[in-house]
Copies of this chain bind each other. A is one copy, B any other.
């Protein structure tokens, strides 16, 4: 028989707005990435965040606005990582290969951003389009690629006339597609592409292919 415990009658109220909001956002990020917008449920998010479901509506207003907050945070995180990256200003070949490696490693470390982008594209980017925050975060990476390409062109190591947007899309796609489609590609390739050996082989190929694609 338990002694009457007044703390269990009306149990813990943490009353920590910052922590509760953050816990919801973290769990929601994982759930939206795993199950997509339709697949994720507010009941599940509330349970896994150890929070009363009403709190989702208290802090975010609706499922869609919670999803928007998740997207905005994911974008901010990705941009922040990009900005921390220091590229060799004097060697376009090393700068471009470093950027390709960085892209591959970012996706290899965490596929959350890929999953969210795929969900958003299936939904025709209707939510992302609305976000002033994300539209304001204009990427510095496109300018960096342009600088690298012009420098390489001037030095005669890259071919001329390359478009920064096209090259950037190509560089990203070589890593993105591998991780985005890793399950179906593993079936076609007949082996587990998430194993260390396969990852290393793909990483080498991506860097190689990007450099070969732009060289003079």
Contact = CB atoms under 8 A, between A and B. Distances in A.
B121 A184 contact: yes
Size category of the A interface is: 35 or more
A184 B125 contact: yes
Q: Looking at chain A's contact residues, is the secondary structure mostly helix, strand, loop, or mixed? A: helix
A181 interface: yes
Contacts of A34: 122
Contact of A118 (B118, B142, B186): B118
Nearest to A168: B188
Interface of A: 34-39, 115, 117-122, 124-125, 128-129, 134-135, 139, 142, 159, 163, 165-166, 169-170, 172-174, 176-178, 180-189, 201-202, 205-206, 209, 212-215
B36 A187 contact: no
A178 B189 contact: no
B205 A118 contact: no
A174 B39 CA distance: 29
B172 A177 contact: yes
A117 B170 contact: no
Given A178-B169, A212-B212, A183 B36 contact: no
Given A118-B122, A173-B177, 9 more contacts: A36-B36, A36-B38, A117-B181, A121-B181, A128-B183, A166-B202, A169-B178, A170-B205, A177-B180
A125 B166 CA distance: 30
B184 A128 contact: yes
